Structure 1
Amino acid sequence: MTNVYLAGPFFDDEQISRIERVEKALAANPRVDNVFSPRLGEIPGLTVGTPEWATQTFQMDIHEIEQADVVVALVDFVDDQVDSGTAFEIGYAFHLKKPVVILHEKETILNLMIAEGLHAYVREAEALAAYDFSTLPESHYHGKVI
């Protein structure tokens, strides 16, 4: 079974809707044992935005990336700029030699660092329900990069 870290922004209604669709798709995948979604991983008793919250959230997310078998990352963004937190999570996972599965639903250009660092490229959230996280088949992005 596979432990997944789900990276992606959740700052507005559209982003939250997308993350929720991915959470649902991953929950439906029989090869996924556990999904850590930072959106759902708030630490009780801490006030969002405080230094204590920031430190503990950072440490928790780093720990969860380290424990994950694979990182699934949403890279749909505005004006070709990926969320900086998501970019950090992707880069950290790549450094740890964790496979990174990129979900890219919008018709935007990928940053070359994301395009070159991914293990698998997926165009629809629903495809993650059937993706074989046991064998992790590779697929690549073949579009323009910036």
Structure 2
Amino acid sequence: MQIYLAAPFFSDEQVDRVARIEAALEANPTVTDFYSPRHHQKTDNPEYTPAWAAEVFRRDVTQVLDADALVVVADFRDDDADSGTAFEAGMAWALKKPIIMVEETDYKTNLMLTESLTAFVNKAEDLATYDFKNYPESKFEGQLF
């Protein structure tokens, strides 16, 4: 089972959350492998150049296409989701891939994200026992906008 981890990793809090999710996925016996974009930002091109951006974009899109499911972190900053994460979640939904959303904060969450998910968990550590073979469904619990 190949999982794509769609998550922002721009602050210490976000990096900590992603690291805890990565540890949970590593511990999960129903996960064969996972791809976390934060570990795949290097290219032969200088960071933040058009060539670097094109390579990272192609790599991440290919990984979304190849994934069996996505774990999406609905981490909000200034009442808005990370645009890259939202893009990846939209791709997954259009491709009919299961989406497991993690939301540990109490921010209001956009209904486009909450209505696209297969399952919702509110603690990163819960992903260590989630059944990625059968994808049990659960609804979002929180405030919507």
Return the offset for 1:122. 0.5
Secondary structure of 1:117's partner? Answer: coil
Name 2:121's counterpart in structure 1: 122
Name 2:140's counterpart in structure 1: 141
Q: How many residues align?
A: 145
Name 2:24's counterpart in structure 1: 25
Query: Is contact 1:80–1:111 with CA below 8 Å preserved after alignment?
Result: no
Q: Partners in 2 of 1:92 and 1:4 — Cα distance?
A: 14
RMSD between superposed Cα atoms in Å: 1.0
Q: What percent of counterpart residues are identical?
A: 46
Return the offset for 1:79. 3.0
Q: Partners in 2 of 1:135 and 1:28 — Cα distance?
A: 17
**Could you report, residue by residue, the CA deviation over 1:111-135 in whole angstroms, capped at 9, with x for unpaired residues?**
0100111110000000000000010
Quickly say closer, same or farther: Cα 1:144–1:70, change in 2 above 3 A: same
Secondary structure of 2:81's partner? Answer: coil
| Structure 2 residue 79 is the aligned partner of structure 1 residue 89 | no
Q: Partners in 2 of 1:56 and 1:7 — Cα distance?
A: 17
Name 1:66's counterpart in structure 2: 65
TM-score (norm 1): 0.96
Quickly say closer, same or farther: Cα 1:5–1:62, change in 2 above 3 A: same
TM-score (norm 2): 0.96
Return the offset for 1:109. 1.0
Name 1:7's counterpart in structure 2: 6
Gaps of 5+ in 1: none
Return the offset for 1:43. 3.3
What residue identity is the alignment partner of 2:73? Answer: L
Return the offset for 1:28. 0.4
Gaps of 5+ in 2: none
